[in-house]
A and B are shown apart, each in its own frame.
Chain A
Amino acid sequence: MKFAGGLGTVAALALHLATVQVAHAASPAAAATDFSGTWLPDARRAEPWPSSLPLTATTRRFMERFDAAQSDPTTFCMPFGTPRNMLQTGYPLEIVQTPERVVMVIQPNLANAEVRRIPLNAGPLPESPEPSWFGTSRGHWEGATLVIETIGMRDDAILGDDGLPHSGQLRVVERLHLERDPERGKVLVDDIELHDPQAWQGTLKTRRYFSWAPDARPRDPTCVDALWTEKLWSERLREHARQAVPAEATP
């Protein structure tokens, strides 16, 4: 549509806006819950995993040898990935919601903001999406509950600081709803189910609570700044060391 200007365009746009508003009011999305805003994970209410998880032998072996300094992606400023970004309790969760999609932003102190894009009512998930840190998601409403299914996560991400791994077969199902807490006010509840037959038997379930925090603002990450400084300094030091040693003394 060309912008012709004048009253006709204004009237057309006004009519369009009115139509959109009516359409939204009549659509199921209008009855959906509004999760928009910033939320802080409630570490005190984070449900721990059961003491004995039904892990496969491969998973147990990996966890026994797990060394975070070598094998935790976040040590190298890589992302948490999904669903670790929903299980973590240190950084705020920001939700942007439109009738067509939900975008979740988790901005940890790593290289990049973690952006989960969740199209709503967009049909089935693709068969085998390209593996990624945040996976491929679809969402739909079941009454006031937002149900999100995510697949296609990279198989070198982990679920927590203990090194619990997951394979590329991981399927995550989340159910988000709002609760009213007399002490905490508005609370976002995320019931998370993890299915991964390569990593454990059955379904791992946990619940995460997020408190409404409209004033919480993400901070700039410094993870890469630190790595860069370290890299720069180590190279500078090597260079100084080379210059300090006479050429004939170098083996």
Chain B
Amino acid sequence: MDYDRELLTGTVGVLILSLLAERAMYAYEMLQEAERRSAGTFRLKEGTIYPALHQMERTGLLQATWRESPEGRSRKYYTLTSKGRRQAQSKRRQWESLLAAMRAIIGDARA
């Protein structure tokens, strides 16, 4: 199914914060993970994740360190800072309320 790209672009920040709330990841890993969990829905233009990650790092939501991946390759891992954790919780709450509202609307429409 084709989604409006703009719709997805607006979710990049929430996506990153949600994934990193679970554990530290590197960029490609996040892309793969998002695609896997959304059963292919979140197939972003992959390059857009880098400006978003760098921006969040600069604003103090994330911090990055180079370390080895389980495959033995050197990867740049991102983790949430305490500010990032707070932001992740806040975004999560916003999304949940928005989704509930959307579900109510769509549900009503179907009914």
Interaction A to B: no
- B contacts, CB < 8 Å to A: none
**Which of A's residues lie within 8 Å of B, judged by CB?**
none
